[in-house]
Each structure stands twice: as structure tokens, then as C-alpha cells.
Amino acid sequence: MTDLVWTFLTAGALVVGLLAGAGIARARHRAAAQPPAGPTISVLLQRLVFSSHNAIVILNQFGDVVQHNRRAEELGVVRNRRVDGLTKKAAELAKETGEPVEIELRPQERSFGRGPEAVRGEIRPLGDGFLAVDAADESEAVRLEATRRDFVANVSHELKTPVGAMALLAEAVLDAADDPQAVRRFTTKILHEATRLGTLVTELIALSRLQGAERLPELNAVDVDAVIRDALGRAKLAAENTGIDIATDGDTALLVEGDRTLLVTALANLLENAVAYSQPGSPVSISRRRVGDFVEISVTDRGIGIPEEEQQRVFERFYRLDKARSRATGGTGLGLAIVKHVAANHGGEVKLWSRPGTGSTFTLRIPAHPNSNGVNSTGGKQ
């Protein structure tokens, strides 16, 4: 009896095991047959195309657009579901040769605003007559290259001017060797041109450092009152020569996060610029205050003023509002460009208010140091 019971139990266990194994197998089969959870690869690829910063276009064997993203329309590669003429010709060449073809477009201005200045890309064969267009907005690179060319051309011109003048003056000295007064007059001019050349080279080096050629110094707590005193010392001679009195407000004990040498250079450039473009005897003033998380240092003059359409251009390298006045004062056209880069490298900015015939106010805004407890813009203590 015991053996019979044991036999039934063993057989039952075997049947249960077989049924369980069959159930597991069926479950695995069903799981394999079901699609995986989440988006498919094709959906993810489509999302990638639509979210791309580049213009992506798929063309069929007839050159028709079968798929494109919004960026392709923004960059002017596709209009009314058709590619532009240059892209179409390049696509035909890529299809014939089976090799990628580079394209460069200059889209027209759009009705709702300016389009990109340059679009560059590549057309690649995908097989079976299909092609992919991958293009990007290269306007910024084109603009930087144009700026670089202009900078090199301007530097060459600006360096040639004093060097050529010194050569001519040296010849004049040789020809007037027997005339002491003429020699003195020509050598004075040579000294003036040499000083101008030295200033130009110094400011070019400073601008190169500010634009990343060298690592900027570490920023520390800088006393604003000390910066103003140092800048006044540098501008004192130019102000005295023109009979201009530079007025200042009282000390504030404000601190900024910055590099003292660079800040003194920037403020001195603003002061020298105010003096150069003011009439002899007219006032120039400096004021300082804290506004929120920034310290503002303003230089105000009663000079010739700047027309609104030229107020952004004055910060360009070598740009001069009054070329005749700049030549007379020995200006290089780099002073305000240096101020702009100093402010930017400190995480600040330089603002300009001006009106022709009234004067100008340049305001240097620099982040305040966390420990600054000076007077705020309303005259109270922080």
C-alpha cells in the first residue's frame, strides 16, 4: 500500500512539473511575441531628426522631399516642400557619383526677419536613390572670419601710418641738419608718432589678452575708490592740457569682484575718451553707486555727443567717431573696445547714454564683491 501511494505521489509531482514547465514556456513565447515597452527605434530616429539643430532633409530618387525637419525651413533649405536650386543640383551630382557633395547656400532674407547669412552642409547618398541633406547655420563663423580679416587689415593700416610718418620725418631731419629749429620741430613730431605707435602696440597686446590669448588673472576684492584714484592719476595730464576739471563724488568703500589693473585701465580709457571729445574747459565727472548685485561707475562729459545710429559702433576696434580729433589727440580707436572686453571678462557690461550736442555717459557695471558693505544707490549703507 505504501509503495502504491508513493508511486501516485511521484507521478503527480511529475505531471505538475510538466504543466509548470509548459506554462513557463508559453509565457516566454508570449513575452517574445509582444513588442518591447517604449518607443521603437524608428520613432527615436524620427525624434532625433526633428529635434536636430541642423537642417535634415531626405530626398527620393526624383529629388522630391519625403521628410524634413523645421530647421530645414528656418535655414531656407526647404521652401514649400522643395529644396532650393543649388541643393537640387548638388543632389543630382551626389546621386551620379555616389559620393558626398558639399553645399554652401546664402539664403535670402525672410519676410519676418533676417535669415542666416551662410548655410553650409553635405549631401550623402543613402542607397536606392535616396539622399540625405545635412546643413547647419555657419553665419557666426563667417562673421568671425570677416571680423578677423578686418582686424588684420586695420592693424596693418594703423601700424603703417606712424611708421611711415616717422620715416618721412627722419628724412626731413637729415635734409634740415643745418637748421636747428627745423630739426627740433621734426624730432618733436617723431617723438609724437613714436609715442602713438607705442600706445597702439600696448593696447593691441592688452586687447589680445582680453580676447583669450592669455589666461585672465584671478579675480579678487577690489576697492572701487582706489580704482578711481588710480584712473584719475592716469588721465590727469590730458585733462590739465585741455583745462578740463574732472569732478568726483565722495568715497563709498564699495568693493567689486575683479582685477584692479584691468579695471583701472578700463576707467582711465573712459576718462581719456571723455577728455578727448570735450571742449577745453568743459566739465567731466565720475560717480559711483551700487545697484543690486552690481557696482556702477559712470563717466559723464559735456562733449560733442554720439548719434544713436553710431552708439554701438563706438565699441568696435579702430572705430573713431571723429577721425580728425583722434589724429590730433593720438587716439588709437581701441580704448572703448578694451573697456567692453574688460567689462565682459568681469561678468559685467558697459552702457552708453548720449545725445549729440549734449554729451555722453559711459557706465561700467561690475559685479559687487560679496563682502561689499559700501553705500548703495539710495545713499544708505548696505
Residues 181-208: pLDDT tens digits?
888 888 888 887 787 777 667 666 666 6
pLDDT at 207: 62
Mean pLDDT of the chain, nearest integer? 76
What would the pLDDT profile of 316-358 be if each residue is shown by its tens digit?
766 656 554 444 444 556 778 888 888 888 889 999 898 888 8
Position 228 confidence tier, pLDDT thresholds 50, 70, 90:
very high
Q: Specify the higher pLDDT residue, 248 or 50.
A: 248
Position 295 confidence tier, pLDDT thresholds 50, 70, 90:
very high
pLDDT at 32: 55
Long-range CB pairs of 59-66, under 8 A, 24+ apart, other chains included: 59/83, 59/91, 59/130, 59/131, 59/132, 59/133, 60/129, 60/130, 61/95, 61/128, 61/129, 61/130, 63/88, 63/91, 63/92, 66/130
Q: Which pTM does this prediction carry?
A: 0.51
Amino acid at 12: G
CB atoms within 10 A of CB 151: 16
pLDDT at 15: 47
Across residues 232-246, what is the average pLDDT? 84
Q: Specify the higher pLDDT residue, 3 or 197.
A: 197
CA-wise closest residue to 207 among 154, 138, 272, 286: 154
Query: Do 138 and 119 touch, CB atoms closer than 8 A?
Result: yes
Position 111 confidence tier, pLDDT thresholds 50, 70, 90:
very low
Helices within 219-351 (DSSP H only): 224-241, 260-276, 323-329, 335-345
Position 378 confidence tier, pLDDT thresholds 50, 70, 90:
very low
What would the pLDDT profile of 96-109 be if each residue is shown by its tens digit?
888 898 888 765 54
Q: Specify the higher pLDDT residue, 170 or 335.
A: 170
Helices within 176-212 (DSSP H only): 180-208
Position 300 confidence tier, pLDDT thresholds 50, 70, 90:
very high
Measure the CA–CA gap between 354 and 298, rounded to whole angstroms. Answer: 13
Across residues 369-373, what is the average pLDDT? 75
Measure the CA–CA gap between 266 and 209, rounded to whole angstroms. Answer: 14
Measured in whole angstroms, how far is the alpha carbon of residue 358 from the centre of its chain?
Answer: 31
Position 86 confidence tier, pLDDT thresholds 50, 70, 90:
confident
Across residues 274-294, what is the average pLDDT? 89
Is the predicted pLDDT of residue 216 greater than 60, yes or no?
no
